[in-house]
């Protein structure tokens, strides 16, 4: 099992759309996927489930959610061991449902991070412990909010890899620099805290290594057109920034945090602006590439759905290649 966080320190880049559609594309490769909705906005959960499930979360508060998993530890009762996942029958993945109440855990995680004691480290490794019980899956994906807060820190400390979804603008490039700075600080603080604990077995997590590595990035939300050879290319307004992204990631993240195999390609692909297909997908609670006439697809939209299928399955193939290539 490999755990992958989808994260960037910038909102509105289409992260949840990427997470859910890539998970569905990998499911078509017969991979068993668990999606953890670790964003208190619960966008992934709202995307993949009908209103009856959302009613269990928001109104009845009867569903088992990521908050249900996190709450016992925050109350000093230990790690949760009875996790319950919900099947998304349209995306063909399992989901640990999101919950707005997860935001209530933020202050506890922040206070424990600053405590430097065993309890603080146990909550810091909350998601690493959770992943110990996910061995039946090929991949566990984490959908996350755009903050550099304590919930996301705990997720990133727990994961093997992260994927950067990037919109084509200067703000996304600056966000990679912020991520790099915070990763450096988190690793420093974590090493210091671990060194102050004589018996690591008290943390009750067997593997405490900070092993997070960049798996790749995906350019998103840009305008594209076909060139004379029929290849999809970004229009000129986006091309200059798009050319700057590989060097920015190389400088800020790769050179600073990880060695890479020779000629390794961190670009997993690109998702241009899919316009009305995205809200149609959200309304239908289906992957974009699974939309049909009954979902409102008409005329030229069928071509766009086929293109979306090629895009997400191509990203899935590169994702699998990178997983295999990184040591």
Tell me how far apart the alpha carbons of residues 314 and 64 are, in angstroms, rounded to a whole number.
Answer: 34
What does the angle CA 297 – CA 302 – CA 308 come to, to the nearest 5 degrees?
105
Q: How many CB atoms lie within 10 A of CB 221?
A: 21
What SS3 string covers 97-135? ECCHHHHHHHHHHHHHHHHCCHHHHHHHCHHHHHHCCCC
| Structure confidence at residue 61 (pLDDT) | 92
Q: Which parts of 126-211 are beta strand (E)?
A: 139-143, 161-167
| Structure confidence at residue 74 (pLDDT) | 75
| Structure confidence at residue 64 (pLDDT) | 95
Token representation of residue 246: 């590989």
In order of their start, the domains of the chain are 2-275+314-325 (3.40.50.300)
Tell me if 71 sits within 8 A of 83, measured CB to CB.
no
pTM: 0.93
Q: Measured in Å, how far apart are the chain's first and last C-alpha atoms?
A: 14
| Structure confidence at residue 82 (pLDDT) | 82
Tell me if 38 sits within 8 A of 195, measured CB to CB.
no
Query: In a structure prediction context, what are the per-residue pLDDT tens digits for the chain, which is 327 residues long?
Result: 999 999 988 778 889 999 999 999 999 999 999 999 999 999 999 999 999 999 999 999 999 999 999 988 877 777 887 899 999 999 999 999 999 999 999 988 898 888 878 888 988 999 999 999 999 999 999 999 988 899 999 999 999 999 999 887 777 778 788 888 999 999 999 999 999 888 898 888 989 999 999 999 998 865 556 656 656 655 566 677 778 888 888 888 888 888 777 788 999 999 988 889 999 999 999 999 999 999 999 988 899 999 999 999 999 999 999 999 887
Phi/psi of residue 215, each to 5°?
Answer: -90, -30
- Torsion of Cα atoms, 197 then 203 then 204 then 210, to 10°: -90
User: Helix crossing, 15-27 with 277-284: angle to 10°?
Assistant: 70
User: Helix crossing, 170-195 with 236-249: angle to 10°?
Assistant: 20
* CA of residue 118 relative to chain centroid, distance: 28
């Amino acid at each position: 099992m490999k755990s992958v966080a989808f994260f960037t320190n910038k909102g509105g880049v289409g992260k949840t759309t990427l997470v859910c559609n890539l998970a569905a594309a990998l499911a078509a490769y017969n991979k068993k996927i668990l999606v953890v909705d670790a964003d208190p906005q619960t966008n992934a959960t709202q995307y993949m489930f009908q209103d009856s499930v959302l009613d269990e979360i928001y109104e009845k508060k009867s569903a088992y959610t990521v908050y249900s998993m996190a709450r016992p530890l925050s109350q000093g009762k230990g790690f949760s061991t009875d996790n319950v996942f919900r099947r998304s029958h349209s995306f063909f993945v399992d989901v640990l449902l999101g919950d707005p109440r997860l935001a209530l855990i933020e202050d506890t995680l922040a206070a424990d991070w600053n405590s430097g004691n065993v309890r603080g480290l146990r909550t810091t490794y909350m998601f690493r412990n959770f992943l110990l019980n996910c061995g039946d899956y090929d991949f566990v994906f984490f959908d996350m909010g755009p903050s550099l807060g304590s919930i996301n820190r705990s997720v990133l400390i727990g994961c093997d890899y992260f994927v950067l979804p990037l919109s084509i603008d200067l703000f996304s490039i600056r966000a990679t620099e912020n991520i790099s700075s915070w990763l450096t600080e988190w690793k420093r603080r974590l090493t210091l805290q671990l060194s102050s604990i004589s018996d690591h077995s008290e943390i009750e997590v067997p593997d405490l290594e900070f092993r997070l590595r960049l798996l790749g990035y995906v350019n998103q939300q840009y305008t594209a057109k076909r060139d004379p050879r029929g290849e999809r290319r970004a229009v000129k307004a986006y091309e200059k920034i798009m050319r700057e992204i590989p060097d920015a990631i190389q400088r800020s993240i790769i050179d600073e945090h990880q060695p890479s195999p020779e000629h390794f390609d961190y670009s997993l692909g690109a998702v241009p602006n899919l316009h009305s297909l995205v809200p149609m997908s959200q309304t239908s609670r289906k992957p974009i590439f699974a939309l049909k006439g009954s979902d409102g697809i008409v005329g030229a939209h069928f071509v766009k759905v086929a293109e979306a299928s090629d895009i997400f399955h191509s990203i899935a193939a590169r994702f699998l290649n990178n997983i295999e290539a990184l040591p």
